[in-house]
Amino acid sequence: MDNENKLAADLGTAGNAIEAAIESLRHDGIGPMPIASAMLGGALGLLAQVMDDNAILNVLHSAATGVASGELRRSLTP
């Protein structure tokens, strides 16, 4: 399997695991804000292990731009 296919497979596996964890936490009565805050903190910590600060800031800037433009909400609409 080449790197691109492995990355796609790993992304799918990770995405499925995160969705299952969210469902489990919601089932336990934990609200979306604590879950999202914990996930964001965990994601930033993980990124800090593999990226320099400027790269992390670029990721965050891209995310903020997507929110400000409405792209995030549009992506959630079926």
The tens place of each residue's pLDDT in the chain, 78 residues long, gives 799 899 999 999 999 999 999 999 999 999 999 999 999 999 999 999 999 999 999 999 999 999 999 999 999 887
Q: Supply the DSSP string of 31-60, one letter for each residue.
A: -HHHHHHHHHHHHHHHHHHHS-HHHHHHHH
Q: What is the pLDDT of residue 47?
A: 97
Largest CA distance in the chain: 41
Q: What is the pLDDT of residue 78?
A: 77
Question: Angle 68-54-76 (CA atoms, 0-180°, nearest 5)?
Answer: 30
Q: Report pTM.
A: 0.80
